[in-house]
Amino acid sequence: MVIYLDHNATTPIAPEVVAVIRPYLERQFGNPSSAHAYGTAASAAVDRARAQVAGLLGAEPDTVTFTGSGSEADTLAIIGVALARLGDRDHVVRSAVEHPAVVAACRYLERRFSFRVTVVPVDAYGLVDPDDVRRALEPGTALVSVMHANNEVGTIQPIAEVAAVAREHGVLVHTDAAQSVGKVRVDVDELGVDLLTVVGHKMYAPKGIGALYVRPATRIDSVIHGAGHEHGLRAGTENVPYIAGLGAAATLGARRLAAGAHLDMQRLRDRLHAALPDVSLNGHPERRLPNTLNVSFPGVDGEALLARTPAIAAATGSACHSGRTEPSAVLVAMGFDERRAHGAVRLSLGYDTTAAEVDAAAAALTDALVPA
């Protein structure tokens, strides 16, 4: 059996979530916009899920807009704000370690609307300095986008401090919280953000569903046009089964956090780290997701190491382009040389990961380091 340690890529759908989804795939198939009984049942499911997601974020239900993915939510946040301020503000600030969806949206604004984009650096732990954000702000800045927690190294950014800086200058703040929601406490008021991205398949819901929190009175344009679904921000008949599933996953996440299950996961992560010989930790030792362990094995290529351990499903941050393996852009932004970046392996645990699996994974990786 393969040990799954790639939960930052995607999570399995929780049984509790499957149970909630099933009726909306079978019997309760109505269109939420229909006035008859089938439609009202579907509409009630969407409303319930909206309240569940909002509850996990410490928000009001009408601030949650459902999307088809996290990438769509990021696009709606960044391009939606930019379009709303077109002709007024033409500058965006992002960090050097953002998700490709954020990077691509910023590049689109540069190419299509001549926006200017400032990329704020990170330190050796992957942390943004709020003072760097302050220095990057201009009178024409429309938005700052800094992810809450990095998908590769797990570093949790000082979003509340970044938001406070932006607020002093009347600038909106977006954070991609795909990796943090359900793993650590995420409260939109405590963070002080105006927009926040949620991704279903990172929190035990299906792929193909996400959400965007939009603080009341935030000016944002739709990027998918049609009828007035989702507060007029996202046209298209709602994906009721997956929306219901995301709501169930939000409730499950809140329950796990309240029970301290994320702390149990953190203990297993640290147990795995302690069992690995002579590795360098990538990311902050404390300000980090409880499930994420990114380490570099000295003198070892991460991809080759994982290829020698087929009993483990894990990831590296490297990408292959035209036959050449490129080092992780995140690790490069953190100042690591190619040797350390190429040696990195990301091991991301889930709520269902066991101590036996952690011990077996550590043993398999250690054995793979020894030449045959």
Query: What is the spatial distance between Cα 249 and Cα 18, in angstroms, rounded to a whole number?
Result: 10
The angle subtended at Cα 205 by Cα 8 and Cα 102, nearest 5°, is 50
Report the predicted TM-score, pTM, of the whole model to 2 decimal places.
0.96
- Digits of tens for pLDDT over the chain (372 positions)? 899 999 999 999 999 999 999 999 999 999 998 899 989 999 999 999 999 999 999 999 999 999 999 999 999 999 999 999 999 999 999 999 999 999 999 999 999 999 999 999 999 999 999 999 999 999 999 999 999 999 999 999 999 999 999 999 999 999 999 999 999 999 999 999 999 999 999 999 999 999 999 999 999 999 989 888 888 899 898 999 999 999 999 999 999 999 999 999 999 999 999 999 989 999 999 999 999 999 999 889 999 999 999 999 999 875 544 344 678 999 999 999 988 999 999 999 999 999 999 999 999 999 999 764
Instruction: End-to-end CA distance of the chain: give it in Å, rounded.
Output: 23
The stretches of 85-194 forming alpha helices (DSSP H) are 100-113, 130-136, 159-168, 188-191
- Angle among Cα 68, 73, 76 to the nearest 5 degrees reads 115
Active-site residue flag, 106:
no
Those residues whose C-beta lies under 8 Å from the C-beta of residue 172, and which sit 6 or more positions away, are 81, 142, 143, 144, 166, 194, 195, 218
Q: Domain 15-256, what architecture? A: 3-Layer(aba) Sandwich (3.40)
Catalytic residue among 217, 274, 320, 370: 320
Handedness of CA 261, 262, 263, 265 (dihedral sign): positive
What CATH number was assigned to the domain covering residues 3-10+260-369? 3.90.1150.10
- Of 317, 321, 266, nearest to 296 by C-alpha is 317
For residue 154, give the DSSP letter: -
The domain ranges of the chain are 3-10+260-369, 15-256
Q: Where are the beta strands (DSSP E) in the chain?
A: 3-4, 64-67, 91-95, 116-120, 141-145, 172-176, 195-199, 210-214, 280-281, 292-296, 312-313, 319-321, 324-326, 344-348
